[in-house]
Amino acid sequence: MIIVNTNFIAGKNITQTLGLVKGSTIRAKHIGKDIVSGFRHLVGGELSEYAQMLDESRQIATSKMIEEANALGADAIINLRYSTSAVMQGAAEILVYGTAVKLD
């Protein structure tokens, strides 16, 4: 599956737009890691526990979006976008969306 954040794919001809595809997940970190991050927040530094959580969440959401595109028979996804929002302290939603297309 070709995935790009542009509205075209260099060297490819888009023959059909299949529609919006999306994937999302809501994740929270283990309470122990949440406490460690809380201490790090006080002294400064990267909150690696949350960075890892968001990276894992992006991967899960992207996989769900690709599954949806495959079900439509898509060859590619264009205009890829990610969005995140806090659901509650220590939990975040990741949403990924794009346009599924058919190529020559």
pLDDT at residue 93 above 80?
A: yes
Task: Considering the domain delimited by 2-103, tell me its CATH architecture.
Answer: 2-Layer Sandwich (3.30)
The confidence score (pLDDT) of residue 89 equals: 72
The pLDDT tens digits of the residues spanning 44-81 come to: 667 677 778 788 899 999 999 999 999 999 999 999 99
**For 83-103, what is the mean pLDDT?**
89
Would you tell me how many other CB atoms lie within 10 Å of the CB of residue 58? 17
pLDDT at residue 35 above 60?
A: no
- How far apart are alpha carbons 21 and 67 in whole angstroms? 9
Percent of the chain with pLDDT over 90: 61
DSSP assignment of 26-75 equals EEE--HHHHHHHHHHHHH-S--HHHHHHHHHHHHHHHHHHHHHHHHHT-S
Q: How confident is the model at residue 43 (pLDDT cuts 50, 70, 90)?
A: low
- How many angstroms separate the most distant Cα atoms in the chain? 54
